[in-house]
């Protein structure tokens, strides 16, 4: 899976940037599953995901984005859904993330 370019992460006029979180964010720092449609997940501290679900699906897709699902993802990682999808439900085992709308 290729890393998206800055151009791919922004709209044509640049006002809809995932990198600047121009549409808002929600910080998850507990183990309760959060429902929040987002275009990206920014990892704030070493984090282990319990589940990542795409919009409209009850299927955990974290293995589609993380090779070693039981290993902590390091702070600074940005996870974006493939093919124009959005993430909708995220649950953590540990750590903290920002959900970027």
Tell me whether residue 15 is in a domain: no
Q: How many domains does the chain have?
A: 1
The per-residue pLDDT of the chain, averaged, comes to 88
Helix (H, G, I), strand (E, B) or coil at 29: coil
Residue 69 belongs to a domain = yes
Phi, psi of 14 (to 5 degrees): 80, 0
- pLDDT value, residue 84: 85
Structure tokens of 101?
A: 């709308």
Residue 3 binned pLDDT confidence (cut-offs 50, 70, 90)? low
Q: Is residue 75, in this structure, part of any structural domain at all?
A: yes
Q: Is residue 68 part of a domain?
A: yes
What pLDDT does 13 receive? 45
What DSSP element (H or E) covers 89? strand 87-100
Average the pLDDT over 67-83 and give the result: 95
Per-residue confidence band for 16, with pLDDT thresholds at 50, 70 and 90: low
The structure tokens listed for 5 are 């370019």
Q: What is the mean pLDDT of residues 9-14?
A: 49
Q: Which domain holds residue 31?
A: 25-100
Above 60 in pLDDT, residue 10? Answer: no
| Of 3 and 30, the one with more pLDDT | 30
Question: From CA 80, how far away is CA 41, in angstroms rounded?
Answer: 6
How far apart CA 67 and CA 53 sit, in angstroms, is: 16
Paired sense of beta strands 87-100 and 40-54, if any: antiparallel
Phi, psi of 12 (to 5 degrees): -55, -35
Neighbours of 29 (CB within 10 A): 13
């Amino acid at each position: 899976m290729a890393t998206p370019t800055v151009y791919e992460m922004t709209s044509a006029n640049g006002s809809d940037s995932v990198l600047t979180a121009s549409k808002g964010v929600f910080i998850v720092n507990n183990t309760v599953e959060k429902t929040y449609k987002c275009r990206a997940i920014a990892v704030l501290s070493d984090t282990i995901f319990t589940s990542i679900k795409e919009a409209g699906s009850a299927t955990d897709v974290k293995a589609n984005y993380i090779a070693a699902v039981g290993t902590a993802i390091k702070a600074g990682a940005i996870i974006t859904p493939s093919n124009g999808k959005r993430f909708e439900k995220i649950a953590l085992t540990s750590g903290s993330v920002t959900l970027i709308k």
